[in-house]
Amino acid sequence: MKLFSTLVWLFAVFYCQAQQLSMKPFKPAQFETTCTELDSSANAFVIEEYGNTEFDAAGASELKLIHYYSVRIKIINQEGFDKANFKIPLYRVGDKFEIISSIKGKTYNLVDGKVVTTELEKDNIFTEKYSDNLQFCKLTLPNIQEGSIIELKYQITSESLFQFRSWMFQDDIPKLYSAFVSEIPKNFVYNITVKGRVPMFKKETVLKTGCFNYNNEMRDCFSTTYIMKDIPAFVQEDYMLSPINYLAAVTFELKHFQDENGMVIKNFTKTWKDVDELMMADASFGGQLKKTNSFKKILPPIIENKSNNYDKSKAIYSYIQNQIKWNNYYGCFSQKGIEESLKIRTGNAADINLALVTALNAADIEAYPVVLSTRENGLPNMFHPVISDFNYVIALAIIDSTKYFLDATEQYNPFGELPLRTINHNGRVIYSKKSSEWLPMVNPRISSSTYQFDGELLTNGELKGILTFNYAGIDALNKRKEISSAGNDDLFKEELENSMTSAKIDSIRIFNFSEIDNVLNIQLGLTYTLLDNQDEDSQTLSFNPIFLNKTTKNPFNLDERTYPVDLGSLKENSQMIKIRIPDGYTLKEKPANSSLALPERAARYVFKAEFKDQILSVHQSVLLNKSLYLEDEYLDLKEFYSRLIQHQKLEFVFTKN
């Protein structure tokens, strides 16, 4: 699959003045605009959208990037009302954030044949800090109704030439027209990448002479126009990486600055050697790894009874995991610093995992930081380093030639396993004395959920017995967090009961909650209404014994999926059920034993049942034996789930003698 192609500046160059793209004044006829042919199910759609990014010489030696944006959207129904909410990211550049200005918003409604315009008021625009390096401008356009047309215009000023904003052609609603113009001085060369599968309607580059004044000299620019039409909505499904990896877009990365003759004066594209040196020289990254003395007094009592490096590493991991509480901020660079984080017992991901690397090194255990991009942040550029691609750091410990990826941010995450957010194909190991390298981010343990029921079916239609859940891998981490957030066992029991229709939990016991290396075990004393309004003298019992964790909806519904199915780990879900059937009933009908498998056993479904000595025994398991399924495997996976669901609808029928 070819998701993107890197463009080289081999465009046909026209020596003329480029036409500036901008949104035309609103016309009432736009109320008649539809997108039925493109997407008849859309709740809202973009009528037209324009963007322009250009350089501005603010002073003798100061250059700025100005990004202009305008959009007009039609709201079809109430489900599309959320498109009136805008959340615009503003990034820190040096000691201040980018500036958003010239914000103008309007809502147009057709009332009794007349256009009623409601303007956005300044009081409804506010800024919200997300982190030290990111804040959002938030606003909601007023007077939204079914059939409204909204428009928004603004500009963003950035003092960093590295903050050349990507243009996102595609979104979760269809767009009839999207156009973007980049105006880049000839002296500045950017790596430009077009991503996605939507064909470009138009791409044209012209040379604009004297496009901007710098140091009292008029400089030429390359002005490139990108236009797409009839852009389908991007539909998200379960089990995928960030949509940012697949959306139609054009991105820009500053490569180098050259003189008028094309001679490179300054190269901004770093090699991995450059990045390694920069990160190791940074006080918030490499500087933290030098603080091994911080652990010289701490470690001896922690590892004194540990005879090998594996046990020592686990003890150190547990110490960091419990000593520094994660503040839910990501980051490759330390926020507080190791020493301060140990003192105040809180920090971001880098504070925690750089502390872990440093502590392991202090114990003479080989360990290195691994920078990565989280799943929601998008895949990092594998061809050349872009430091801003990375937003997280974990640890790599090498013990007896075995590699262990470690993330101590999660209290309930076992040694050697990673939370799902970090499983994003590859991470970059930053070594101290050799070149960094890519390593695949994988979890060694299958993510599994199994349940066993052992009980009896009463003549009133109720099941009564013991239900046992077992969780491992990512499923265990998520369930432990769920139990912890409930507050205590009784509150968790209440939440669990509320989530289980027709069930009453008589008792609950939780095993291995704190022993995070072990399988999490939950035992419930359960009464479950399997047959509603069952007559105790009924001659027939008809039911499906898979009464929990049944797959009722296919997670894969697209006719074609243009991106992989990414689970993050191997997955297994199984049920083992034993039900004593009331005396006097015999089995008349049962689903056939079944086994389904994808080619090369990439997925497998097994269903087995038998009735013996009044005990109905049912075993069902679903094994997804790959963490990644490519697009050409999608329809097979979709059909696999369709057959599985159909089989789970079949019932057992018992008749009275």
pLDDT of residue 6: 35
- Identify the CATH number of the domain in which residue 364 sits: 3.10.620.30
> Under a CB-based contact definition with an 8 Å cutoff, are residues 21 and 181 in contact?
yes
pLDDT reading at 16 higher than 70: no
Residues 6+ apart with CB under 8 A from 140: 84, 85, 86, 124
Provide the mean pLDDT of the chain: 92
Is residue 288 included in any domain, yes or no? yes
Kindly report, residue by residue over 457-482, the tens digit of the pLDDT.
Answer: 998 889 999 999 999 999 999 999 99
Last residue of a domain, one of 388, 406, 440: 440
pLDDT reading at 434 higher than 50: yes
Cα–Cα dist 395/380, whole Å: 18
Residue 101 host element (H or E): strand 99-111
> Under a CB-based contact definition with an 8 Å cutoff, are residues 445 and 472 in contact?
yes
Kindly report, residue by residue over 110-144, the tens digit of the pLDDT.
Answer: 999 999 999 999 999 999 998 778 899 999 999 99
Same domain? 301 vs 167 = no
Band of residue 20 on the pLDDT scale cut at 50, 70, 90: low
pLDDT of residue 148: 97
Band of residue 550 on the pLDDT scale cut at 50, 70, 90: confident
> Under a CB-based contact definition with an 8 Å cutoff, are residues 312 and 262 in contact?
no
Same domain? 420 vs 335 = yes
Q: State the total domains in the chain.
A: 3
Band of residue 538 on the pLDDT scale cut at 50, 70, 90: confident
Cα–Cα dist 387/423, whole Å: 18
pLDDT of residue 3: 40
Same domain? 354 vs 396 = yes
Kindly report, residue by residue over 598-614, the tens digit of the pLDDT.
Answer: 999 999 999 999 999 99
Apex CA 368: angle with CA 364 and CA 373, to 5°?
160
User: 320 in helix, strand or coil?
Assistant: helix
Lowest mean pLDDT among 175-184, 260-269, 489-498: 260-269
Kindly report, residue by residue over 366-408, the tens digit of the pLDDT.
Answer: 999 999 999 999 999 888 888 889 999 999 999 999 999 999 9
Is residue 32 included in any domain, yes or no? no
Same domain? 433 vs 359 = yes
pLDDT of residue 152: 98
Is residue 617 included in any domain, yes or no? yes
Q: What is the CA radius of gyration of the chain?
A: 30
Band of residue 58 on the pLDDT scale cut at 50, 70, 90: low
Kindly report, residue by residue over 342-374, the tens digit of the pLDDT.
Answer: 999 999 999 999 999 999 999 999 999 999 999
Helix axes 349-362, 309-323, angle to 10 degrees: 150
Per DSSP, helices labelled H in 398-526 are 474-486, 489-499
Report the percentage of the chain scoring pLDDT > 70: 96
Range of the domain at 376: 272-440
What letter represents residue 273's amino acid?
A: K
Band of residue 26 on the pLDDT scale cut at 50, 70, 90: very high
Q: How many CA atoms lie within 13 A of 524 on its CB side?
A: 24
User: 557 in helix, strand or coil?
Assistant: coil
Is residue 35 included in any domain, yes or no? no
Kindly report, residue by residue over 506-536, the tens digit of the pLDDT.
Answer: 999 999 999 999 999 999 999 999 888 777 7
- Average pLDDT rounded to a whole number, residues 285-303: 96
- Identify the CATH number of the domain in which residue 69 sits: 2.60.40.3140
Same domain? 484 vs 396 = no
Same domain? 69 vs 143 = yes
- Identify the CATH number of the domain in which residue 576 sits: 2.60.120.1130
pLDDT of residue 321: 98
> Under a CB-based contact definition with an 8 Å cutoff, are residues 182 and 89 in contact?
no
pLDDT reading at 17 higher than 60: no
Helix, strand, coil shares of the chain, percent, nearest 5, are: 20, 40, 40
Same domain? 421 vs 453 = no
pLDDT of residue 493: 93
Same domain? 353 vs 393 = yes
Same domain? 54 vs 201 = yes
- Average pLDDT rounded to a whole number, residues 568-573: 96
> Under a CB-based contact definition with an 8 Å cutoff, are residues 246 and 379 in contact?
no
pLDDT of residue 131: 79
Kindly report, residue by residue over 209-231, the tens digit of the pLDDT.
Answer: 888 777 777 888 999 999 999 99
